[in-house]
Amino acid sequence: MKISIAQLNFHIGNFKGNLSKMLEAVETAKADGADLICFSELSTCGYPPRDFLEFEDFIKKAEDTVAKLAKAAIDIAIVVGSPSKNSVIEGKDHYNSAYFLEDGKIKQVQHKTLLPTYDVFDEYRYFEPASEFKVVEFKGKKIALTICEDIWNIGNENPLYTICPLDEMIGQNPDFILNLSASPFSVTQTEERIHVLKSNVERYGLPMFYVNHSGAQTEILFDGGSIAMSPDGHIFEELPYFEECIRTFDLAEVEKGGVQKEQPRDKIALIHDALVIGVKNYFGKLGFKKAILGLSGGIDSAVTAVLAARALGPENVRVILMPSQYSSDHSINDARALAENLGIQYDIIPIKDIYDTYMEKLEPHFLGYASNVTEENIQARVRGMLLMSFSNKFGNILLNTTNKSEMAVGYGTLYGDLCGGLSVIGDVYKTDVFKLARYMNKEGEVVPENTISKPPSAELRPDQKDTDSLPEYDILDAVLIQYIENQKGPKEIIEMGFDEKLVKRILRLVNINEFKRHQTAPVLRVTSKAFGMGRRMPIVGKYLA
Amino acid sequence: MKISIAQLNFHIGNFKGNLSKMLEAVETAKADGADLICFSELSTCGYPPRDFLEFEDFIKKAEDTVAKLAKAAIDIAIVVGSPSKNSVIEGKDHYNSAYFLEDGKIKQVQHKTLLPTYDVFDEYRYFEPASEFKVVEFKGKKIALTICEDIWNIGNENPLYTICPLDEMIGQNPDFILNLSASPFSVTQTEERIHVLKSNVERYGLPMFYVNHSGAQTEILFDGGSIAMSPDGHIFEELPYFEECIRTFDLAEVEKGGVQKEQPRDKIALIHDALVIGVKNYFGKLGFKKAILGLSGGIDSAVTAVLAARALGPENVRVILMPSQYSSDHSINDARALAENLGIQYDIIPIKDIYDTYMEKLEPHFLGYASNVTEENIQARVRGMLLMSFSNKFGNILLNTTNKSEMAVGYGTLYGDLCGGLSVIGDVYKTDVFKLARYMNKEGEVVPENTISKPPSAELRPDQKDTDSLPEYDILDAVLIQYIENQKGPKEIIEMGFDEKLVKRILRLVNINEFKRHQTAPVLRVTSKAFGMGRRMPIVGKYLA
C-alpha cells in the first residue's frame, strides 16, 4: 500500500483555495501511485478558524468542501480534516473531525478526542470530544485515525487528560496510525514532537504517518516537519520545515524500519526560518506585497529589515531613516550601510521640524512642567506617523521592530515605535536578537558589525542607553523567561539567586504594561509562551503591580 | 436563620484589598445578627483572574486569603469563592470553588460543575469540573452550594451541558440554595437571570440567595443585582445595580414569599449606568483620577465626555478641541457648549500648522500621488498625538470615543481616533449613541441639540458625511446586529430582506478590519457580543473577505 502525506499551507476561510490546493495534491498522489492521501487537521477551513466556527454558514462551506473533495476520491482514498456537526443536542455543536473519503463518498468520520484548551488553543470552546473509536478498514488494512493532540496522552500519562484514544483503538488491531495535525511551531516543539511520535510507535508497535500543517496563520507558525515513522521508532523520513510538500511512502518500506533520516534543528536557524515564513505568509494571505519600516541603526530594526527582505524580496522592502537631534552619526551610517547591504530603498526624513512644531503648539499648555517622557514619546510618535503615512500612501504594511524583552517591560511608545501591522521579533528576547544577527552574517556581513556591537540605545535624549532604564539584557531575559515562559512567582525566581529588588521591579513592569501589549500588533510566535492570544492577562489588576 | 449577601467590587490580584473588604462585610453582617454571610464567585482573587491562575504563587495567595478569612468565621459562617487545588493528577490543576468557613476553619468545599467556555469565558482553560455534590449542614439546615453557571442548566435542558448540579443535590433534601456568581452585565442579562432563578426555585421548591459581583474588571462589567428569591418564584428583594451592597435576610421571611420587589430595567438607562461604572472602576483600580479626550462637536465624543464627567467628576475631565480647516464653525461651537454645560476644562489647539509641517516633509516623497485617505489619517493622527502628549504630561488616561458601528466596519484611523486607554462606547451601536444622548438630556440639555440632530461627519475633507462611505446607521446597525450578535451568515441576512450587495459589503468590511480592532483599547461590554476577548477572530482570513 502506498500512502501520500501532504503538508500544505491552507488559508483560513479560503474554502475555494484550500480545495483546489487539495485537488492538485490528489492528482500528484495519484501520479505517485498512492492508494491514500492524508491532509492535515481542519484543512478545509484552515486552522485555527476561531469564532468563525460559530457561524453556521462557515460550517456549511466546510461541509460543501468535503463533499466536493469526496467526488475526487476515485481510485484513491482521501483523509481530510474538517469540522462536522454534532447531531446530539447535548454538548458542543461541532466535532473536529477526520473524514475518510472513498469511492466518491464519505466512508467514515473519526472525531478528535483530546481538545487542547490552553495557551493559543481554545478547542473546547468549539468542539465536543469523540466518544466512539473505530478503525477504518481499507484495502485489507486497518487504520487508526487520530487528530493532533490525540497522540499526546500516551498511555494516559498526560495529566491533562483521562482518555487515550489509541488505547481505545488498539484492541481492533490497526495496521498503522494516521495523525492529522495543526501543531504550532516553537523552538522546543520540533524536538518534543519526535519524542511523542517515538513513544507512540514503540507503545503500539505500529508505523505512524504524521501530517502537519505548514505555513503561518497570522501569529501562529506551523512548521510542517511531517513524519513517516517506523515501528522501531526510527524516523523513516521527516518532511522539510516551513515548506509545502507532498511525499508518497510504501507502507511495507516504512514498516521495515532501520532507516533514520533527520534534519538539523538549530534553535536560531529555526527561529530565523519561522519568522521569514511568518512575514511572507502574513503578506501573501492578506494580498500585500510591500513592507515598510523605520531603520534606526539599532539591532532590532536591522534584524527585522533582513527578515523582511528575505521574506518579501529586497525590492519589496522600503525603509525610512528618521534621525533626530539625539541620533548619533554612527546610527545613520549603520542604518544606511544595512540598507545598502540589503539593496533596499531608503529615504532620510529628519524629524526635528515636525517635533518643533508640536512643541510650539504644546508649549503654552506645558508651561512650568519639566521635560519628561512626553517629549521622548513625541519623537517616537512622529516616526510612527511618518511611517504610517507611507503605509497609507503606497500600500506597504508597516513592520513593528520591538523585541520581546522590551515588549515585556513596556520599553516602547504606544502609537510610536509600537506601531505596525505585524510584530516580527516580538517573541524574540533581546539576547536572541543578537544571535539572530550573527546568524544572518554567517555567509558575509549583512547586519553591520557596529549595529551588533554597540550598546543598545533608544536615542530619545542625549547619551541615552537602554541600561539607564533597564537591567543588562542577559539578566533581564533570564528573569523574564522564568516569569513568562515558566510561570514562576517572585519568591521562586528570587530563590534562584536573582536580586530581590530587581525581580520585583521586572515582574511589576511586566504586569503594569499589559495595556500596551493589548494594543500592539500580532506577534509571530516562536517560543512556548508568546505575547498575544496564548497569554491572557487582565489589564486592570493588582497582582505584583 | 439570618443570611447576609454581599455584592462587592473586588479587584483582580488585590488579595489584601479584597480580604479587608470582606472582613469589613463580615462585621456588618454580624452587627445585623447574621448567621451566615455569602460573597460572590472567586472573591479572594477577583473575577476573571485569567492566566494568573497558572501561577502557583497566585493560587497560594488566594489560599492564604481563605485561611485568613476562616479565622474571622467565629459566631458567623462565611461562604467565599476562591480557586482550590485539584489533588488528583489527571485533569486541570484547579477547581473554581465555594469554601464554607465555620468555627475558624474550612468546613467544606464545593467545586463548580458547569464551566462556561464561550464568549468572554475561558473556565475550562483553568478548571476541572466538580464530580461530587454534598450539601452543607449548618445549624440544622442543609445548604445547596452552587457557583454561577451551575444553576444555568435547569433540569439538564441547556444543550451545552450533560449534568445538572442541583438535580444531583436535591436527593439530600437541601433547605435553600446559595449561588455565588460573577455574571457579567449585558443589556439582556438582568432579565434572563431573573428568569433562570425563577425556573430553579420553582423546580426545586426552595428559596435561593444569589450573590453577584458588582463593579468593572477592565472591559467586563458586573451589575450586582443580587437576589433573594422565594420558593414561589417571587423576587423577595433585588439588590441595586452597579453598587456595592450588603443585605441581611431572615430565611423564614424569604421562604414565606408573596412579596415581589423589582427595579426598573430600561435598556438605555442600564447602558448608561454600566458605562459610568466601567469608566469609574477602570480609573479607580488603575489608580488614576483624570481623563482626557478630544471633543469634535460630534455625538460620540460628546456622549463619552458626559459619561466621563459623571464617572470621574467634571473637575477630572479635560477636553481638547482640535479644529482643522475642514472643521465647521458649528462643530467648535457645539464642542465648546458641551464643555461649558459639563463645567470641564477645555483648550483649543488648531492642527493646521502641524499638519502642514508633515505634508511639507512628505511632499517630495508623495510627488505624483493623488491626495487620498493618507492625508485624512494624518489629521486624525495629529489629534491622537496631541492628546497622548497631554496624557503623558499630566497623567490623564485618554478615552477613546469610537462607537461600535464604526469599530465594526473600520471607520476610524489606527493611532489616530482609535487611540486611547479605554474604549467607552465601543460596544454601543451608533443608533444607541443617539438614544444615550437623549437620555442624558432628560433633565435638561447637556449634549447640545445640534450635536444630536446634525448629520454625522468625520470632517476630514470638505463637506464630508459619514453616509459618503457608510450606509445609513439604522440599516448598518441592523445588519451588524445580525452578523455580530446573532452570528448569521450573508445568505440568512439577505433573506431577511436586506440588499445583497450592501450585506456583502458590510460583512466584508467587518472581516477585513479585524487588524484594527486587534490594536484598540479594551471595550466596555454592554451587549451579548462585544469586540474584544469575547469575539476571537483570525486577522488573516479569507471568509467573506
User: What values do phi and psi take at B87, rounded to 5?
Assistant: -80, -15
Q: B363 exposed, middle or buried (CB, 10 Å; 0-12, 13-18, 19+)?
A: exposed
B344 domain residue, yes or no = yes
Q: Which of A91, A419, A544 sits opposite B415 (nearest CB)?
A: A419
Residues of chain A with C-beta less than 8 angstroms from the C-beta of B280: none
> For residue A203, what is the domain's CATH number?
3.60.110.10
B540 domain residue, yes or no = no
Do residues A242 and A184 lie in contact, with contact meaning Cβ atoms separated by under 8 Å? no
B502 domain residue, yes or no = no
Helix axes B373-394, A373-394, angle to 10 degrees: 170
Q: Tell me which residue has cell 467607552.
A: B424
The residue out of A230, A261, A292 marking a domain boundary is A261
A545 domain residue, yes or no = no
Q: B31 exposed, middle or buried (CB, 10 Å; 0-12, 13-18, 19+)?
A: exposed
Range of the domain at B375: 270-464
Query: B155 pLDDT band (50/70/90 cuts)?
Result: confident
A45 domain residue, yes or no = yes
Do residues B441 and B420 lie in contact, with contact meaning Cβ atoms separated by under 8 Å? no
Region B352-363: mean pLDDT is 97
The C-alpha atoms of residue A53 and residue A60 are separated, in whole angstroms, by: 10
> For residue B419, what is the domain's CATH number?
3.40.50.620
Q: Residues B1-35: pLDDT tens digits? A: 999 999 999 999 999 999 999 999 999 999 999 99
Q: Residues A276-334: pLDDT tens digits? A: 999 999 999 999 999 999 999 999 999 999 999 999 999 999 999 999 989 888 899 99
Interfacial B residues in 59-78 facing A (CB < 8 Å): 60-61
Instruction: For strands B77-85 and B36-38, give the pairing.
Output: parallel
Q: Is the pLDDT of residue A188 over 90?
A: yes
Q: Is the pLDDT of residue B462 over 90?
A: no
The residue out of B263, B294, B310 marking a domain boundary is B263
Q: Which of B519, B540, B543 sits opposite A521 (nearest CB)?
A: B519
In 3D space, the residue among A505, A490, A539 whose CA is nearest the CA of residue A519 turns out to be A539
B277 and B243 both lie in a single domain: no
Q: Residues B267-276: pLDDT tens digits? A: 999 999 999 9
Q: Residues A114-148: pLDDT tens digits? A: 999 999 999 999 999 999 999 999 999 999 999 99
Q: Residues B195-237: pLDDT tens digits? A: 999 999 999 999 999 999 999 999 999 999 999 999 999 999 9
A132 and A155 both lie in a single domain: yes
Q: Do A282 and B536 count as a contact with CB atoms less than 8 A apart?
A: no
What residue of A is the nearest CA neighbor of B417? A415
Q: Do B538 and A52 count as a contact with CB atoms less than 8 A apart?
A: yes
- pLDDT, residue B157, reads 87
CB proximity A287 to B under 8 Å: no
Q: Which of A373, A414, A542 sits opposite B11 (nearest CB)?
A: A542
CB proximity B17 to A under 8 Å: yes
Q: Which of B55, B382, B490 sits opposite A57 (nearest CB)?
A: B490
A163 domain residue, yes or no = yes
Q: Which of A57, A489, A535 sits opposite B491 (nearest CB)?
A: A57
Region B157-167: mean pLDDT is 92
Q: Do B542 and A13 count as a contact with CB atoms less than 8 A apart?
A: yes
Q: Is the pLDDT of residue A262 over 90?
A: no
Q: Is the pLDDT of residue A387 over 90?
A: yes
E strands, A17-59, in order: 36-38
A145 and A176 both lie in a single domain: yes
Number of domains, chain B: 2
CB proximity A538 to B under 8 Å: yes
Interfacial B residues in 327-386 facing A (CB < 8 Å): 347, 349, 353-354, 357-358, 360-362, 365-366, 369, 372-374, 377-378, 381-382, 384-386
- Grouping H, G, I as helix, E, B as strand and the rest as coil, residue B186 is coil
Query: B117 pLDDT band (50/70/90 cuts)?
Result: very high
Do residues A7 and A40 lie in contact, with contact meaning Cβ atoms separated by under 8 Å? yes
Q: Is the pLDDT of residue B289 over 90?
A: yes
B86 and B208 both lie in a single domain: yes
Q: Tell me which residue has cell 449577601.
A: B5
Region B52-72: mean pLDDT is 98
Region B469-486: mean pLDDT is 96
Query: B178 pLDDT band (50/70/90 cuts)?
Result: very high
Q: Do B392 and A386 count as a contact with CB atoms less than 8 A apart?
A: no
Q: Would the CA dihedral through B251, B244, B432, B420 be positive or negative?
A: negative
- pLDDT, residue A157, reads 87
A480 and A341 both lie in a single domain: yes
The C-alpha atoms of residue A469 and residue B376 are separated, in whole angstroms, by: 37
Q: Is the pLDDT of residue A253 over 90?
A: yes
Interfacial B residues in 118-177 facing A (CB < 8 Å): 118, 122, 124-125, 156, 159-162
Q: Do B353 and A365 count as a contact with CB atoms less than 8 A apart?
A: no
DSSP A184: B
B247 and B277 both lie in a single domain: no
Q: Do A539 and B522 count as a contact with CB atoms less than 8 A apart?
A: yes
A242 and A361 both lie in a single domain: no
Q: Residues B438-449: pLDDT tens digits? A: 999 999 999 999
What residue of A is the nearest CA neighbor of B540? A218
Query: A63 pLDDT band (50/70/90 cuts)?
Result: very high
Residues of chain B with C-beta less than 8 angstroms from the C-beta of A382: 385
Interfacial A residues in 509-528 facing B (CB < 8 Å): 515, 518-522
Active site residue B27: no
Q: ∠B486-B490-B496 over CA atoms, to 5°?
A: 70
A65 and A204 both lie in a single domain: yes
Q: Do B365 and A390 count as a contact with CB atoms less than 8 A apart?
A: yes
Region A430-449: mean pLDDT is 97
Query: A210 pLDDT band (50/70/90 cuts)?
Result: very high
The residue out of B246, B263, B280 marking a domain boundary is B263
In 3D space, the residue among B369, B85, B430, B425 whose CA is nearest the CA of residue A393 turns out to be B369
A491 and A428 both lie in a single domain: yes
Q: Do A55 and B415 count as a contact with CB atoms less than 8 A apart?
A: no
Q: Is B487 left (phi over 0), alpha (psi -120 to 50) or beta?
A: left
- pLDDT, residue A329, reads 85
B302 and B414 both lie in a single domain: yes
B483 domain residue, yes or no = no
A185 and A295 both lie in a single domain: no
- pLDDT, residue A466, reads 87
Active site residue A261: no
For residues A59, A61, A64 and A65, what is the CA-based torsion angle, rounded to 10 degrees? -100
B193 and B333 both lie in a single domain: no
Active site residue B148: yes
A390 domain residue, yes or no = yes
- ipTM of this model? 0.96
CB proximity B217 to A under 8 Å: yes
